[in-house]
Structure 1
């Protein structure tokens, strides 16, 4: 089946980041068993790429203190790629011991956000990544590179294409081919997405780009649409729309996985994921957390989820 929109790819890959990016900023403790249940439920829905957890200092992100236990409890029979975010060499060593399939290193396109997020300069971040890559290569584990604030910084404003391209080139020089552009505070717009995608295609042609949007200003899926028109086939999203960077003012949830699947399904783009099964997991997470999640399809249902005529009250007025 071909995509229904001219220029769209026939299929895309979705990376589920809810277990890490979705849960990291939640103050209430989410039990380890619930995290494992969430991932296993999403595996059953067809997702095969996950950012499961992060090996950061527990004092910095307490929600991730059970990283190794979560990885140990996930059903590996599905053959999914389980990735963890690592901030430094110590985190990389812990990730290797826990049996991750891939690691993610991360830095910001803006200097000020990098200082706020990881308390060091971009140059120092890059220096540390070389040691992480060495540890990962010795263990036969791939490293991916994420660029936060790739579409704008809450402290500095606009981020030029050149700043994002320079970091992508620095990653490429380390042998990191898979690069994620992160919309940390929802500052992306369709024109910015077009510009970033075209710049990286021209200046870092060997890179495999993933787009990661937040819905802070309500245009997250519009940015996905722009990415699809550019031929980008990798996207990150979070079940129920969970998430938001704890070190960026104004950050809200990631684009919602089941909403993304709905968009793809309606456009004839294959993802291999059952959106209704993802919505079921989202509703279970909503019950667990005790407050509404921002996902829309999980509440409204798909477009053709018909209801009986007597499901709503009829108007009691008479025709004029």
Structure 2
């Protein structure tokens, strides 16, 4: 990604976002690409290259806490609806011409969902990769989620949230950084299922297990991902987990009217069949609120837009052209 395409944009909350922006040329549509943990705008390199060549505009921020964007330490500032408003500020500051499509992955999907429930009129369509659309959760606590997952799927899925929200998480990750990043990037099922259980991530990390590099990433790409995350700092991104580990997520969700749950825009969902954390059945109930839904399935794990980049790019292209 061309470093000259980045610019700093100030939001109404006085946060400075580092944003990769290329204006549309042959197409009028702008793709707003929202990454998750533990990534940066570099997460979208394959999509940026593909769609800018086709003439689409791309708006790719380092999300709050990551890369060259500001890194406040108060976790309440990372509430998903507030970050969604930051994204609108970015679009407005750029004086974007033409329609916008919000596409998220991982926690970026949660922000895309809040754009859909709170600011649907600003977008012509929404895309969700791996983590599907999620209606607001105004009732279930973190403990409720763990219990329900165990009852439905035989194991807890998000036990690692508890560790990543812990006060000593940053220090442990810094001391076992290579093991931590290898676990996430390799996404080896035997490792991921261990950290999914409550209390499982801490002892796993202390073993300094070196999971192998996945064959769809080059050594240089892994090096860049690790460098960006380490250089930009670990503490701020962990605030995304403090939001969902606390009651803040439910309190925020309770303010969203139920009639807003329906997404009356075209929706694309990349269903990653081999993801063992954001497993596809988790999103089935919420996806029922998206009547204009297009689903594509991939034999891929969490990083579907890396692992199956050619297929995902092609399917997104076909969907966008059909809007």
Q: What TM-score comes out, normalization by structure 1 length?
A: 0.31
Structure having the higher helix fraction is: 2
Q: What TM-score comes out, normalization by structure 2 length?
A: 0.31
Larger radius of gyration: 1
